[in-house]
Amino acid sequence: MFSIYSHQVLHKRFLYKAIYIIPLFCLLAGFFSCKKNDFAGGNPSVLQVYNAMDDGLNLYINLSDKRPAQFATNGYLGNQGYSVQNNTFTFSELSTKVEFYSREDTFSHDKPLISTSLETIPGASYLMLLFGTKSDPDFTLVKDEFPSIIVSDSSVYIRFSNISEANPVSVNIKGQAPGSLVQQLPFRSTSEFKTIKVDRSLPDYEFEIRDQASGVLISSYTLTGINSDIIFSLNMIFQPYTLVLSGKAGASSPNEQKITEIKHRAS
C-alpha cells in the first residue's frame, strides 16, 4: 500500500513541476528558433502555420515588410509536414505582413501566392492553415483559446479543423456513435477544444472523421502514448492538439483526404 501511495505522490509532484517547466521551455524554444523576426522585448504573439496546399506544394514564409534577397531555410514550410520548432513564428508588431511564396518561384519577378496583414493581440496565439491550389490559394486563421489546466484532472485537449473541400463532417471516438464528439464541422471551421481523459488503464484514442450526412468514414487518426510510462505521459498530459482534416474527397496522393496532428507546445 505504501509503495503505491508513494509512487502516486511522486508522480503528481513531478507533473506539477512539469506544468511550469514545459511552457517556459516552449517560449524559449520559440524565441531562439525564430530568425524571421527580431524580437526586441515585450509580449510576442505566436503564429503556427500548417501547409496543406494541393499537389505537394512547398512554401517559404516571409514576415518582413520587404521581399528578402534570399529566402532563409528556417522560413521553409514543407507540404503536409509539421513540428512545433519548424512551424512556429513569433512577432511583436500588432500588425504584421505575412507572405507565402512557392519554393519554385523565388526569382525577383515572382509574386507571393498569399499576402495578408495580420492584426494580432500581444501574447495571443494563432493557427494559420493554408490550402487550395497554386492558382487559387486560401487560408483560415484561428485565434487559439487554450483551456485552463486543472492539475487534479489528467487530460489532453483536442480540437478539430476541417479544410477539406467537401461536405460538413462529424467526429467520434472509435466505438462511439458518429458525431458524439463533434456533431457538425463545416468546411473552413475549427471546433472548440474537447477534454480527453489520460489514464494508463485506457487504450490509445482512435478518432474517426465521417461525412456528417451519410456517416461514411473519411479518415481516422490514433493518438498514441496516453497509457505509457510517466516520461512519455508528460509528452502528452495537459497538451493542446489540433487534428486537421485536409485534402479532397476521391482524390489520389498527395491530395487525398488525411488527418494531421498539430501539437501546440514543445515538450
What lies within 8 Å, CB to CB, of 261 at 6+ separation is: 82, 221, 223, 241, 242, 243
- pLDDT of 190 reads 98
**Highest mean pLDDT range out of 68-77, 102-111, 176-185, 220-229?**
176-185
pLDDT at residue 198, as a whole number: 81
* Per-residue pLDDT, 78: 95
User: For the range 171-174, what are the long-range contacts, defined as Cβ-Cβ under 8 Å and sequence gap of 24 or more?
Assistant: 171/207, 171/208, 171/209, 171/210, 172/207, 172/208, 172/210, 173/205, 173/206, 173/207, 173/208, 174/205, 174/206, 174/207, 174/208, 174/220
- With b for 16 or more beta-carbon neighbours within 10 A and e for fewer, the 172-211 pattern comes to bbeeeebbebbeebeeebbbebbebebeeeeeebebbbbb
Residue 62: is its pLDDT beyond 80? yes
Q: Tell whether the model's pLDDT for residue 227 goes beyond 70.
A: no
User: Which pLDDT score is estimated for 74?
Assistant: 64
Q: Which contiguous run of DSSP H or E holds residue 200?
A: none
- pLDDT value of position 235: 65
Q: What percent of the chain has pLDDT over 90?
A: 57
Residue 97 pairs in a beta bridge with 117
How many CA atoms lie within 13 Å of 267's alpha carbon, on the beta-carbon side? 18
Q: Where are the alpha helices (DSSP H) in the chain?
A: 2-33, 84-87, 230-233
Residue 22 confidence (pLDDT) above 50:
no
Per-residue pLDDT reduced to its tens digit, 146-183? 988 877 678 889 999 999 987 899 999 999 999 999 99
Best-predicted range by mean pLDDT among 3-12, 147-156, 242-251? 242-251
Res 105: pLDDT? 83
Q: What local confidence, expressed as pLDDT, does residue 245 receive?
A: 98
Structural domains of the chain in order of their starting residue, each with its CATH number: 34-143 (2.60.40), 155-263 (2.60.40)
Please list, in sequence order, all residues whose beta carbon lies within 8 angstroms of the beta carbon of residue 198, skipping any fewer than 6 positions away. 154, 155, 156, 226, 233, 236, 237
Residue 48 banded pLDDT, cuts 50, 70, 90: very high
Q: Which of 67-81, 92-106, 107-121, 227-241 has the lowest mean pLDDT?
A: 227-241
Look at residue 231 and tell me whether its pLDDT is greater than 70: no
Q: pTM of the full predicted structure?
A: 0.80
Decide if 156 contacts 238 (C-beta within 8 A). yes
Residue 225's pLDDT is 72
- 137-143 β-sheet, strand order: 88-91, 45-51, 125-132, 137-143
221 has a pLDDT exceeding 50 = yes
Rounded distance, CA 91 to CA 44, Å? 5
pLDDT at residue 175, rounded to an integer: 96
- For residue 32, the model assigns a pLDDT of 39
To which H or E segment does residue 135 belong? none
Residues 149, 187 contacting (CB under 8 angstroms): no
pLDDT confidence of residue 92: 84
